[in-house]
Structure 1
Amino acid sequence: MSTPDQKVAVVTGASQGIGAGVVDGYRKLGYAVVATSRGIAPSDDPYVLTVQGDITDPATAERVASAAIERFGRIDALVNNAGIFVSKPFHEYTQADYDRVTSVNVAGFFRITQLAIEQMLRQGSGHVVQITTSLVDHASSEVPSVLASLTKGGLQSATKALAIEYAARGIRSNAVSLGVIRTSMHPAEYHETLGALHPVGRMGEIQDAVGAVLYLENAPFVTGEILHVDGGQSAGH
Structure 2
Amino acid sequence: MTPPNQKVAVITGASQGIGAALVQAYRKQGWAVVANSRSIPASDDAGVATVTGDIADPAIARQVIDTAVREFGRVDTLVNNAGAFIAKLFNDYTTEDYQALIAVNLTGFVVTTQLAIAQMLRQNEGGHVVQVTTSLVDHANSNVPSVLASLTKGGLQSATKSLAIEFAKQGVRVNAVAPGIIQTPMHASESYDSLAALHPVGRMGTISDIVDGVLYLENAPFVTGEILHIDGGQSAGH
> Is this a same-fold pair by TM over 0.5?
yes
Q: Structure 2: which amino acid aligns with 1:164?
A: I
User: Shift of the alpha carbon at 1:2?
Assistant: 1.8
User: Structure 2 length normalisation: TM-score?
Assistant: 0.99
Total equivalences in the alignment: 237
**Aligned equivalents of 2:195 and 2:97: distance in 1?**
23
1: CA distance, partners of 2:211 / 2:229: 13
The match for 1:218 is 219
The one-letter code sitting in structure 1 at the alignment partner of 2:169 is A
- Report the secondary structure of 1:177's partner residue: strand
Match in the other structure for 1:67: 67
Q: Give the CA deviation at 1:108.
A: 1.3
Equivalent position of 1:157 in the other structure:
158
Alignment deviations for residues 81-109 of structure 1 (CA, whole Å, 9 cap, x no partner): 00011011111111011011111100110
1:43 aligns with 2:55: no
| Structure 1: tracts of 5 or more residues without a match | none
| Cα RMSD after superposing both structures | 0.6
TM-score by length of 1: 0.99
4+ runs deviating over 3 angstroms = none
Cα deviation for residue 4 of structure 1 reads: 2.4
Q: Distance in 2 between matches of 1:4 and 1:148?
A: 40
Which residue matches 1:96? 96
Query: 2-side partners of 1:21 and 1:184: how far apart?
Result: 13
Does the residue aligned with 1:121 lie in a helix, a strand or coil?
A: helix
Structure 2 equivalent of residue 112 of structure 1: 112
Q: The residue matched to 2:133 in structure 1 has which SS? A: strand
Partner deviation per Cα, 1:153-204 (whole Å, 9 max, x = no partner): 0000000000000000010000000000001100100000111110011100
Q: Structure 2: which 5+ runs fail to align?
A: none
Alignment match, 2:137 = 136
| Cα distance in 1 between the residues matched to 2:140 and 2:119 | 36
1:29 aligns with 2:29: yes
- State how far apart, in whole Å, the 2-side matches of 1:23 and 1:109 are: 18
CA drift at 1:122: 1.1
